[in-house]
Structure 1
């Protein structure tokens, strides 16, 4: 009989653990999830789990830095860079999220918002990591809005505070959608943000 060959793939093992933890944290919460549950979901040994993540907070930080940051970058930052102006980007982002949630018929919430609300008061390192993601998201929105002001597409617009408003509207609507288990609050927020931005951008066109 030929001896079975063992595959040494530490990065693959680590990735499976982080993916399993991210999925479980989003669905059930960080505090409610045990390491054994994650280990079983990732199909790894206790030794492998302990080697990569000696403590749960180590895994929590990895999920924030590797997966939550990536989710925000893919959902918000990349579309902002891809669209011609802030209103079209924001509307497209809301539309995509609403379509996805409607198709799933389930709302697990914003991963960043979920973890920020749950653990920011309990762990300073996690709080700083989460705040860094919010800051990157805010910077991307502010930069897009500021570019529109410089290009003459908008007027009477304060990029910094408006970026905060957009994030707050999205985060709050997502929390409401999670509580209701439908995307209606996100649809409402989309309509109102579109109207607000249209007024500011229309004002620039009329002035021009």
Structure 2
């Protein structure tokens, strides 16, 4: 018997386009990637591309909302929720990222930082989305530091400013690692952040 079931999967096509765009934007840049290349990467027709994303800007917004924000959530926010305190979480996050990049033998950079550097000055809506992802990341770190202080695990530092420092240090180290194609800056950043936090934390 012939199966006459519809095989159309518009949502699957949309996801495939976003996945292809995310990979391209992270590895080679948003501005350097054209829509024709993205069509070829996603293996979709021009009609399908135009239906889901009439312009590259629409696709850029979707990538930030659906992929970049999720990458930050999985990489940073979820481990912060799982670990006993912020220093433990931060060290684990660095260990995981360094291990993945070492195995991959390639550094494409922080997806959020890559997009922020390219789009923030050119598009207000993209800038607002990128800023919201940074804000969620900062809020999660700050909240973890605040919880540590309340639990008397930490003292002598400002949770909000320390969260800013961690994000800035990680983003800068990742940019250096991308430029050098070497995880050395991430190793250095991990060690120095661990030492700084250890100096401010009172372990029971």
Q: What TM-score do you get using the length of structure 1 for normalisation?
A: 0.95
1:107 aligned partner? 107
Shift of 1:15: 0.2
CA distance in 1, matches of 2:123, 2:30: 12
CA distance in 2, matches of 1:196, 1:3: 64
1:68 aligned partner? 68
Q: 1:40 to 1:6 in 2, by over 3 A?
A: farther
CA distance in 2, matches of 1:188, 1:166: 13
Shift of 1:8: 1.2
Residues 38-187 of structure 1: pairs in structure 2 closer than 5 A: 38-187=38-187
CA distance in 1, matches of 2:3, 2:143: 58
Q: Residue 149 of structure 1 contacts residue 157 of structure 1 at CA under 8 Å; is this kept in 2?
A: no
Shift of 1:7: 1.2
CA distance in 2, matches of 1:90, 1:43: 38
CA distance in 1, matches of 2:143, 2:62: 27
CA distance in 2, matches of 1:100, 1:22: 18
Shift of 1:157: 1.6
CA distance in 2, matches of 1:177, 1:5: 49
List structure 1 segments (4+ residues) > 4 angstroms apart after TM superposition: 2-6
**May I ask how many residue pairs the two structures share in their alignment?**
204
1:193 aligned partner? 193
2:18 aligned partner? 18
1:31 aligned partner? 31
Q: 1:4 to 1:89 in 2, by over 3 A?
A: same
CA distance in 2, matches of 1:146, 1:86: 10
CA distance in 1, matches of 2:50, 2:96: 38
CA distance in 2, matches of 1:77, 1:9: 31
- The two structures, once aligned, show a CA RMSD in angstroms of 1.5
Q: What TM-score do you get using the length of structure 2 for normalisation?
A: 0.97
1:7 aligned partner? 7
